[in-house]
């Protein structure tokens, strides 16, 4: 089973990707664990791209230079609409790729939760969607990247009343509701909030990659 380094130290994101890619014969190792195993110092990659694909590419290229083995990185943008009117929130209120704020103003989990709760109080129930990108570098010659819609998550709602359950690294899940039932995802089937990230797009991406380049793991 071939190891692929996932360019993140977020354990929640690593666990999600392991579930998303279940059945594909690869072993996902987070960047932190990969660095520890190799005795390499892991520095933070500055995300200076103009969109999520540029950021995914920057991270993947940085980690590939570091590990010199197959790596992939992802990045997301969050986009918001007023649920009642269907109108997009003003540009100044759109998080896009800056879900946790900009520059030195990066928000903690608790600060992030307060910020989005205040947005709901200001605009009413908010409809949201994550638009995702991925960059996979296999070696010096082979790479693939995408920001196609099948990688995006399903639309969901943000409420101003947080669920009692909170997961580190995923603070918005506690105020996320299923768009159809208006239930908290945490009150639905286990890991149902995975669809907020992407329904099956990442699995399709990897399957298509291995088929295109005739790679056997």
For 29-70, what is each residue's pLDDT tens digit?
Answer: 999 999 999 999 998 898 899 999 999 999 999 999 999 999
- Asked, for residue 129, whether it belongs to a domain, the answer is yes
CATH value at residue 160: 3.90.950.10
Number of compact structural domains in the chain: 1
Q: What is the pTM of this model?
A: 0.89
- Asked, for residue 217, whether it belongs to a domain, the answer is no
- Asked, for residue 47, whether it belongs to a domain, the answer is yes
Domain extent, residue 204, equals: 2-212
> How many Å is the Cα radius of gyration of the chain?
18
- Asked, for residue 71, whether it belongs to a domain, the answer is yes
For 81-137, what is each residue's pLDDT tens digit?
Answer: 999 999 999 999 999 999 887 655 678 999 999 999 999 999 999 999 999 999 999
- Asked, for residue 158, whether it belongs to a domain, the answer is yes
């Amino acid at each position: 089973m071939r190891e692929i380094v996932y360019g993140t130290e977020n354990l929640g994101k690593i666990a999600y990707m392991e579930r998303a890619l279940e059945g594909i014969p690869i072993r996902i190792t987070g960047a932190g664990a990969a660095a520890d195993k190799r005795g390499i110092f892991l520095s933070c990659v500055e995300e200076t791209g103009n969109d999520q694909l540029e950021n995914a590419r920057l991270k993947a290229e940085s980690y590939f230079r570091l590990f010199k083995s197959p790596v992939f990185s992802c990045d997301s943008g969050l986009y918001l609409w007023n649920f009642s009117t269907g109108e997009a929130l003003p540009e100044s209120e759109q998080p896009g790729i800056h879900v946790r704020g900009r520059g030195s103003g990066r928000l903690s989990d608790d600060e992030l939760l307060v910020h989005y709760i205040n947005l709901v109080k200001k605009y009413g129930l908010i409809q949201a969607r994550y638009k995702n990108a991925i960059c996979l570098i296999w070696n010096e010659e082979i790479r693939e990247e995408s920001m196609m819609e099948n990688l995006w998550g399903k639309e969901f709602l943000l409420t101003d009343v947080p669920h009692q359950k909170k997961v580190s690294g995923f603070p918005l899940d506690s105020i996320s509701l299923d768009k159809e039932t208006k239930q908290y995802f945490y009150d639905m089937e286990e890991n149902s909030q995975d669809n907020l990230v992407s329904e099956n797009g990442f699995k399709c991406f990897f399957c298509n990659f291995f088929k295109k380049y005739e790679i056997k793991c």
